[in-house]
Amino acid sequence: MKFEKLICAIAVIVALVFGNVPAVRAEGEFDGSSLYAASACLMDGDSGRVLFGKEADTPFPMASTTKIMTCILALEMTEDPYSVIVTASDNAAAQPAVHLGVHEGQQFYLQDLLYALMLESYNDAAVMIAEAIGGSVEGFAALMNEKAAEIGCADTHYVTPNGLDGADEGGSHHTTASDLALVMRYCIRQSPKAAAFLEITQTPSHSFWDLEQTGIYDCTNHNAFLTMMDGALSGKTGFTSQAGYCYVGALQQGDRCFIVALLACGWPNNRDYKWADTRKLMEYGLENYEYRDVFDSSAGQVVLPVKNGRYEGYPASGTAKAAVSPVLYSGEAHLNVLLRQDEVVEVRAELPDSLEAPVYEGDAAGKVEYVLNGEVLASYPVCVQETVEKIDYLWCLERMWQWYCGKA
C-alpha cells in the first residue's frame, strides 16, 4: 500500500514539474502549460479520438469520478432500478463522509441510491449499490474491471466503487485521463442505458425516503459545469487527499461532442481549478475543431491486370483485367472527421500490382485506409467487381479456332 502511494506521488510530482515544459506546436494546437491539472484529456465524444492530452496516459488516482462506472454498471445490470431494494450492510454504514449516514439494515430503492451516488457523491450509497449488484465490494470491482477492458481502457484498475483510495493484488485504484474520458464516452454514447445515465446526472435535485420512511433525504447536483456552458451534458467531480481534485464532463454543441477528463487538478484550497481547466479545453475544442468530409471517391478504384486470366479476342498478347473498388458498407460515400484546420487526413490505397487468376466478384484485393497522425481513422476493403476465369486448355482451343476463322 505504501509503495503504491509512493509511485502515485512520484507520478504527480513528475507531471507537475515536467508537464509545463514548452514544446513546438502546430498552428491551432493547445498549449497545455496553461492547465492546472497534472493530467488532462480532451476527447472527441463520437469517435473516441484524443484531441489533446497532457500526461493523458499516465496513471493517477481518480477519486469519485469512479462513480460514473458504478452508476452505468448498476443501470445495465438491473431492468428496473425502482424494483430493486437495497439493504445497508455494516460495511456500507461505516463508510466515511461524504455519506448518506445510513445504518445497518436500512433499506432503499436502487434508483434513489443512484441519485445519491451521482448528485451528492455519497460513499455509503456506492458500497450499498456494489454489494447489491456484485454480492460484495470485491465482486463488484471485478465487474468494473471487466467493463473497463470491454470499453478499451488501457491502464485502469478499480478497487473501490466510490473512488476512495485503495489497493489489492491487482494494484492501486487508478486510471488515466484518456481512459476516464473513454468511460464517460461509453456512459453517454455507447451504453444501452446512456439515456438513463444522462437523466440521472442532469437532474438538479432529488428527494427520497428510505423504505421504512424513517427519514427523507435531499440530494443536490454539485456538477457546476451543467450551468457553466451551453450544451453541457454530464459530469462527475472527485476528491481525495491522494488524488486531489478530479473531474470528467461532456458537452454537446450542434454535431460536435467533447469530453474533458482532469486528474490531480489542484488540492485545497484550489477546488475551482477544475472548472477553469474544463472551460479552457472545451472552448479550445469548440473554436478549433469542425467536421470535414475527407472521403476520396477515386481512392482504390482502379483496373488491375490479371495474370493467366481469360480475356476477349485475339492475339495471345491480350491481357486480362479486373476492376476493383472499395466496399462501402453504409452505402454512402462520406467520411466526416472532426479536424483542426491544419490537420490533413492521408488516404492510403494498399493494392497489389496485379491479381492471379481465377478471381471472382467480391474477392478481397486490398484496402483503403484514412490515416491521421499515424492513427487509422477508417479502413475500407477493396474488392473485385467482376469475375475473371483462369486460362485453361479449352479456352486456348477456342482462341485458336477464332484465329483460324479470322484467317479463313
Contacts by 239-242, CB closer than 8 A, 24 or more apart: 239/63, 239/64, 239/271, 240/61, 240/63, 240/64, 240/163, 240/164, 240/165, 241/165, 241/267, 242/5, 242/8, 242/9, 242/61, 242/165
pLDDT score, position 375: 93
pLDDT score, position 315: 58
CA distances from 226 to 118, 248, 258 (A): 13, 12, 14
pLDDT score, position 23: 40
Residues paired with residue 381 on neighbouring β-strands, in sequence order: 367
Regions of the chain with pLDDT less than 50: 1-3, 5-7, 10, 12-24, 408
pLDDT score, position 3: 46
pLDDT score, position 272: 96
d(C-alpha 382, C-alpha 336), whole Å: 20
d(C-alpha 207, C-alpha 211), whole Å: 13
d(C-alpha 69, C-alpha 92), whole Å: 18
pLDDT score, position 402: 76
pLDDT score, position 16: 45
pLDDT score, position 319: 83
d(C-alpha 80, C-alpha 84), whole Å: 7
pLDDT score, position 26: 56
Contacts by 216-225, CB closer than 8 A, 24 or more apart: 217/100, 217/112, 217/116, 219/115, 219/116, 219/119, 219/120, 220/119, 220/120, 221/118, 221/119, 222/119, 222/120, 222/121, 223/249, 224/275, 225/249, 225/275, 225/278
